[in-house]
Each structure stands twice: as C-alpha cells, then as structure tokens.
C-alpha cells in the first residue's frame, strides 16, 4: 500500500492541484469583486447626495481586495497557493516511512541473512525510497569491494539529498519573493499618493485618493510578510528534518552493508 501511494503519477497530482487552483481563484474573484460592484450606489434624483449617505461602511475583506487590486491580488494568490502545495508535498516526502521504509529494512536484511543477494538487490531496486536507491547502488558495487560499495552509496546519497533540498528551495524562494513584491506595492502605493498631492492645484487633496494609495502600500507589505514568515519557517523546519533523515539513511545503509566488510585476520 505504501509503495502504491509513493508511485502515484505526478500528473494526477498536478491535475488535482490545477483544478483546485481554478476553483479557489473563482471563489476569490467572486468574494472580492462582486461585493465591490454591488456596493456602488446609483445616482440620487437631485444629482447630489447628503454627506451622511456618501460614506459607506466597507468590510475589511472588501477594503483589502480593493487596495491590493487585481494584479497584486492574483500574484499573492498564486504565491499562497504554491506555498501550500509545496509545503504539503515536502511534508509528505520528508516522512520517515517514505525515506526509510521499515518493510524494506526487514526484507533486505532477511535476504542478506539467507545469502540471496540477487533478491536483495531486486528488492532495493524496486523500492523508490531514498534508502532503496542507496542500498541498490551499494549492492551493485559490492563485488568490486566494500570500499567501492560505500563510495557508490555516498554518491547516490548526495544526489538524493540534492533532490530533496531542491524541492525545499522553492519554499525559500517564496519566502524571499513575497516581501520584495510587498515592497514593490509599497513604493507603488506611495507614488500614487504623492501623485494625487502633486495634481492638486488648490486646496487639500482628496482624502479618499490618498487613503487608496496608502492602503495599497500597507496591504501589500502586510500580505508579503504574512506569506514570507510561514514560508521561511517551513523551509527551515523541513530542512532540518531532511538533514536528520539523510544522516539516518547513512547509518542504516552502512549497518546493513557492514557484513561485506572483510575482518582483519588475526596473526
């Protein structure tokens, strides 16, 4: 059952994530743009509205969506969706049972005790786990000597470790990009506010136009930091977990292959 779960085609997972992304995007657009469209009041009969009715109470979600705009809203939505997908994928990959399957250890050791080395190699080769790749590489070189087998296991272990860290690096990328995009929104919002001030010839500038630019600056910074903090935290936690599992793979694999090490002869 565990091997079947690990061998689930990546295309099916990608299709499910893509469908979920479009559904969440549609819900996001409906929840943000539709209330803003419905909130616009038609013109009054006299052409002017009383001062009391011109100020409308806007919910926090509508205010945030209007301040971010469609560009920053879609960018942050894509980053947040990617963050959740990458976190779940790396969390499942870094499970101990996926990296060091206990069934593989037991079966491999039983085959070695029975001196059925070809069956042991086939068992490790058919397993798609980190440990399976390392053991199959070492057992394929054991005929050349124990030292060559250890070197082959170390090379494969470095390759698998690089593959795991490569997936984790996308979390760090999101953690680095999010505050930069937030900073871009901050600068854009402040430029919009100062443009309103510069275009005001006489009197005070429109407070609502100034508030729009300032709110864009603040909300983009807020959302950027809200994405960067959990992304960097998840990256560091999962990286430490992967490093611990890689060390354990080395200990377990060398322990299983130690029986092929020649004992020094007594004089």
* Residue-wise pLDDT tens digits, 253-262: 888 888 877 6
pLDDT at 29 over 60: no
Does residue 94 form part of some domain? yes
Best-predicted range by mean pLDDT (59-63, 141-145, 182-186): 182-186
Closest-CA residue to 229 (of 83, 116, 96): 83
The confidence band for 66, taking pLDDT boundaries of 50, 70 and 90, is: confident
Q: How many residues does the chain have?
A: 267
pLDDT score recorded for residue 56 = 64
229 located within any domain? yes
Instruction: Name the domain count of the chain.
Output: 1
pLDDT at 228: 94
Residue 267 covered by a domain? no
Which are the contacts of 198, defined by CB distance < 8 A and separation ≥ 6?
Answer: none
Instruction: Residue 159: count other Cβ atoms within 10 Å of its Cβ.
Output: 12
Q: Is the pTM of this model over 0.85?
A: no
Cα–Cα distance for residue pair 23/109, rounded to 1 Å = 48
Residue 54, domain member (yes or no): no
Mean pLDDT across the stretch 235-252?
Answer: 92
Its domain, for residue 128, covers: 60-260
Angle at 19 between CA 6 and CA 81, to 5 degrees: 80
Whether 171 and 87 have beta carbons less than 8 Å apart is answered as yes
106 neighbors 94 (Cβ within 8 angstroms): no
Domain assignment of residue 85, yes or no: yes
Q: 232-246 burial, b if ≥16 CB within 10 A, otherwise e?
A: bebbeebbebbeebb
Domain assignment present for residue 106? The answer is yes
Look at 56-65, 192-201, 215-224 and tell me which has the smallest mean pLDDT.
56-65
Residue 207 pLDDT: 77
In this prediction, residues 130-140 reach a mean pLDDT of 90
28 lies in a domain?
no
Distance CA 234, CA 227 (A): 11
CB of 20 closer than 8 Å to CB of 80: no
User: Which range is least confidently modeled, 23-32, 163-172, 177-186?
Assistant: 23-32
Q: At what angle do helices 130-140 and 102-113 cross, to 10 degrees?
A: 20
Percent of the chain with pLDDT over 90: 26
Q: What are phi and psi of 129, to 5 degrees?
A: -80, 170
Query: Considering the domain boundaries, does residue 157 fall inside one?
Result: yes
Q: What's the mean pLDDT when you consider all of the chain?
A: 78
């Amino acid at each position: 059952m565990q091997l079947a779960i690990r061998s689930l085609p990546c295309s099916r997972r990608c299709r499910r994530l893509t469908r979920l992304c479009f559904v969440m995007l549609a819900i996001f657009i409906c929840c943000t743009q539709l209330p803003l469209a419905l909130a616009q009041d038609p013109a009054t009969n006299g052409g002017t509205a009383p001062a009391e009715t011109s100020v409308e109470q806007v919910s926090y979600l509508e205010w945030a969506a209007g301040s971010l705009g469609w560009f920053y809203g879609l960018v942050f939505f894509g980053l947040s969706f990617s963050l959740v997908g990458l976190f779940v994928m790396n969390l499942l990959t870094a499970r101990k049972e996926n990296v060091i399957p206990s069934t593989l250890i037991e079966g491999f050791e039983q085959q070695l005790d029975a001196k059925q080395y070809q069956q042991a190699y086939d068992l490790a080769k058919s397993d798609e786990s980190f440990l399976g790749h390392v053991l199959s590489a070492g057992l394929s070189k054991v005929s050349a000597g124990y030292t060559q087998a250890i070197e082959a296991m170390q090379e494969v272990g470095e390759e698998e470790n690089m593959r795991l860290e490569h997936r984790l690096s996308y979390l760090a990328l999101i953690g680095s990009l999010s505050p930069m995009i937030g900073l871009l929104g901050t600068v854009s919002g402040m430029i919009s506010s100062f443009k309103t001030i510069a275009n005001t010839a006489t009197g005070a500038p429109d407070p609502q136009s100034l508030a729009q630019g300032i709110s864009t600056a603040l909300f983009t910074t807020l959302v950027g930091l809200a994405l960067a903090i959990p992304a960097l935290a998840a990256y560091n936690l999962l990286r430490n977990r992967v490093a611990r599992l890689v060390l354990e793979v080395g200990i377990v694999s060398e322990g299983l292959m130690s029986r092929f090490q020649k004992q020094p002869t007594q004089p």
